Structure formats: C-alpha cells, structure tokens
C-alpha cells in the first residue's frame, strides 16, 4: 500500500487514500467525466517509506516518451521512481479530468513545462522516492519538494545562486538552523521559477524569497513584474520541505481535505480554514 496524502491547512500532509483507492476512483471517474471539476488548487503528495514493486498497470499508463526516459535512467531504482511519479501524475490528472490516465497527452511550453491542452494546469516535483503534485484551474502553478540532505558545498550554492538579500538572511541565521533555511529558500525559488515555467533561464539571484516558516516572495524577478503570485510553505512527510506558488486569485483547495473511499465511488471534501 502506498500512502497518498492531501494537504492540511498547516502545510502538513494527511494520508487520505491509498493507491488502490486512487486507481479505482480514476477508473470510476472515467465513466462519468462530468462528475469532476476543479475550481481550486489541489496538492497531492506521495512519499513511499519503502521501495515498491510497481504494479504493471502503472507502467502501462506511461507514453513512449516517458518509458524511454525511465529506461535511460541507469539506476533501476531511479527508473522505478520515475515511473511511479509519472503514473501517479497521470492518475491524479485522470482523477480531475475524467480522462483515461493512459490517454492523457502532454504538451510542453517553449521552456519545457508540461501542460494539458484543455487544462487543468498542473505541476510536479520529485525528490528521492517522494512526489508532490499540484493541480488547479489555471497557471501559474509551481511546486517543488526537496528532502533535506547533507551538502558538502551548501555555502557555495548560497554564494552562487541566492540573491544578496537571501545571502544576508542565510548568514544571519544561527548555524544550526541554516540547513532548514537553505532548503526553504531553495524550494521556494524552484517553485517560483516553475510557476512561470522558465526553469533556470531566469537567473536565480534576480529574485528573493523568505527563509523562515512563512513562505513569501520578498523581491520579484524583474520579468515577473505585474504578475502577482502567492507562495505556500509545504511540509510533507519525513522532514521534506516544499513550496507551492499560485495566483493570488486562485483558491487553495489544499485547505480542503480530500478523502476517497475504499470503494472508489465517493470523493469527500472537508473545508479547513487556512
Ligand atoms: C524545472 C527545473 C527548474 C526544476 O527541476 P528539479 O527541481 O530538478 O526537478 P523537480 O522534480 O522539482 O521538477 C521536475 C518536473 O517539473 C516539470 N517541469 C519540467 N520543466 C519545467 C519548467 N520549465 N517549468 C515548470 N515545470 C517544469 C516536469 O513535470 C518535471 O518532471 P519530469 O522531469 O519527471 O518530467 C529545472 O529546470 C532545473 O534544472 N533545476 C535545477 C536545480 C537547481 O540547480 N536548483 C538550484 C536552486 S537554488
């Protein structure tokens, strides 16, 4: 059983359903495409605590391009993780659209951000075996997750990629807290870049984000002037750090607990104040 979790109001995650539930739900939803619509941004996460044996059904959902990418990964474990994350994304998108997971066709922007021609908007991030996905009515949506790990050259990365403002905040942080501050900044910068879809074509030092628990953009990228976004801190399982960037006009259905019953024919939501 792989836990699939949904976002809690405090940025944490609560396990809501199993992969089996999601599979049966997406199959059920497929028969009634009009039954699902998405009017807020929903965050999904999956953080398997152990390596899993992939059900063949998951592998069969991937398109040729995805399968080739999975095969190119030298370490078989990385290939399995890639397959799992891409199959889960397809299941989640199927869940929201009513499409067959295997029939989902991705398009890519000029800078490589995957999207669906008819919506909804989505973004995905993985770290180790974990994956976070956000789905909403429209872009911008950017999500990033990292599993904090020891880094030999952490200060070098700060010097190279963080803005002056972020470097000052990092340097002023007590040494024992810098690890968390670093990954907060890192995930927020990535989520910001991913929201706009430009990847690393936008210099990382040209905008600033906060380093503490409250996630925010403190200095916009000049090319994002006029494009307002809001940022949410995410703290999924096992100490992972994450960030979500969405439009300020978008409601975060992440404040809605989503649970899917074991039979796969009911989706319950419970509103939680953010
Ligand atoms: C897209 C990018 C910004 C993020 O990559 P990443 O953090 O390594 O990977 P993530 O797991 O968070 O995201 C990858 C997913 O984002 C999506 N993605 C790909 N291109 C994207 C783009 N231009 N914009 C938004 N999302 C994109 C895809 O779904 C991709 O999944 P896939 O590779 O399995 O198909 C990438 O361009 C990159 O090169 N990152 C470098 C990391 C780095 O040095 N960061 C320093 C931070 S201080």
List the structure tokens of 252: 């975060």
Which segments of 116-240 are extended strands (E)?
121-127, 130-136, 141-146, 208-209, 217-219, 230-234
Mean pLDDT confidence for 222-235: 85
| Rounded distance from Cα 245 to ligand 1 centre (Å) | 14
For ligand 1, mutation pick of 84, 125, 151, 205 (most atoms within 8 Å of CB): 125
Is the previous residue joined to 120 through a cis bond, with omega within 30 degrees of 0? yes
Q: Is 61 exposed, middle or buried (0-12, 13-18, 19+ CB in 10 A)?
A: buried
- Strand partners for 217: 209
pLDDT at residue 60, rounded to an integer = 86
Average pLDDT, the chain: 79
- 101 and 94 Cβ atoms separated by less than 8 Å: yes
Q: Which atom of ligand 1 is nearest to the CA of 157?
A: 48
Write out residues with Cβ below 6 Å of ligand 1.
111-114, 123-126, 144, 161, 186, 189-190, 193-194, 197, 199-200, 204
- 18 and 3 Cβ atoms separated by less than 8 Å: yes
For every residue of 90-137, DSSP letters joined together read HHHHHHHH---GGG---EE-TT--EE-TT--EEEEEEETTEEEEEEES
Query: CATH number of the domain at 3-138+250-271, out of 3.90.1150.10, 3.90.470.20, 3.40.50.720, 3.20.20.150?
Result: 3.90.470.20
The two domains 3-138+250-271 and 145-248 share their CATH topology (first three levels equal): yes
For the chain, the structural domain boundaries read 3-138+250-271, 145-248
pLDDT at residue 95, rounded to an integer = 79
Mean pLDDT confidence for 237-259: 70
Name the residue with tokens 């699939």: 4
pLDDT at residue 159, rounded to an integer = 96
Torsion angles phi and psi, residue 17, rounded to 5 = -155, 165
Q: Which atom of ligand 1 is nearest to the CA of 197?
A: 24
| C-beta atoms surrounding 42 within 10 Å | 23
Q: What is the pLDDT of residues 95-116, one digit of tens each?
A: 788 888 899 999 999 999 999 9
| Rounded distance from Cα 40 to ligand 1 centre (Å) | 23
At residue 262, does pLDDT exceed 60? no
Give the whole-angstrom CA distance, residue 189 versus residue 207: 8
How many residues make up the chain in this entry? 274
- Strand partners for 241: 146
Q: What is the pLDDT of residues 16-63, one digit of tens each?
A: 455 555 555 544 433 333 434 567 888 887 777 666 667 677 788 899
pLDDT at residue 160, rounded to an integer = 95
pLDDT at residue 50, rounded to an integer = 63
At residue 144, does pLDDT exceed 70? yes
Mean pLDDT confidence for 215-238: 85
Q: What is the pLDDT of residues 186-220, one digit of tens each?
A: 999 999 999 999 877 788 999 999 999 889 999 99
- Determine the CATH number of domain 145-248: 3.90.470.20
pLDDT at residue 4, rounded to an integer = 55
Q: What is the dihedral of CA 272, 144, 196, 177, to 10 degrees?
A: 90
Residue nearest to atom 3 of ligand 1 (CA): 199
pLDDT at residue 180, rounded to an integer = 93
pLDDT at residue 258, rounded to an integer = 27
- Strand partners for 108: 114
For ligand 1, mutation pick of 190, 192, 207, 211 (most atoms within 8 Å of CB): 190
Among 23, 30, 102, CA closest to 63: 102
List the structure tokens of 108: 């890519």
Among 177, 148, 150, CA closest to 235: 148
For ligand 1, mutation pick of 107, 114, 130, 240 (most atoms within 8 Å of CB): 114
Chain Cα centroid distance, residue 184: 15
Mean pLDDT confidence for 54-77: 89
Q: Which atom of ligand 1 is nearest to the CA of 131?
A: 11
Q: What is the pLDDT of residues 150-180, one digit of tens each?
A: 888 999 999 999 999 999 999 999 999 999 9
Range with the poorest average pLDDT among 36-45, 89-98, 111-120, 243-252: 36-45
pLDDT at residue 255, rounded to an integer = 33
């Amino acid at each position: 059983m792989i836990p699939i979790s949904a976002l809690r109001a405090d940025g944490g995650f609560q396990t809501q359903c199993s992969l089996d539930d999601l599979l049966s739900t997406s199959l059920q939803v497929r028969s009634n495409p009009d039954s699902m619509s998405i009017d807020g941004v929903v965050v999904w996460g999956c953080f398997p605590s152990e390596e899993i044996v992939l059900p063949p059904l998951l592998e069969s959902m991937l398109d040729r391009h995805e399968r080739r990418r999975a095969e190119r990964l030298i370490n078989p474990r990385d290939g399995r993780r890639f397959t799992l994350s891409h199959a889960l994304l397809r299941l989640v998108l199927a869940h929201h659209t009513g499409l067959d997971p295997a029939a989902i066709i991705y398009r890519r922007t000029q800078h490589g951000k995957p999207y669906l021609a008819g919506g909804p908007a989505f973004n995905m991030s993985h770290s180790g075996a974990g994956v976070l996905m956000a789905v909403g009515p429209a872009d911008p949506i950017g999500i990033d997750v990292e599993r904090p790990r020891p880094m030999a050259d952490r200060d070098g990365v700060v010097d190279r990629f963080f803005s002056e403002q972020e470097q000052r905040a990092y340097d002023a942080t007590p040494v024992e807290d810098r690890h968390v501050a670093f990954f907060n900044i890192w995930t927020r910068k990535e989520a910001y870049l991913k929201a706009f879809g430009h990847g690393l074509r936008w210099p990382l030092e040209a905008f600033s984000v906060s380093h503490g628990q409250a996630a925010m953009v403190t200095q916009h990228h000049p090319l994002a002037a006029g494009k307002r976004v809001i940022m949410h801190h995410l703290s999924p399982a096992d100490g992972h750090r994450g960030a979500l960037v969405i439009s300020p006009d978008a409601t975060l259905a992440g404040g809605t607990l989503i649970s899917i019953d074991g039979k796969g024919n009911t989706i319950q939501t419970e509103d939680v104040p953010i």
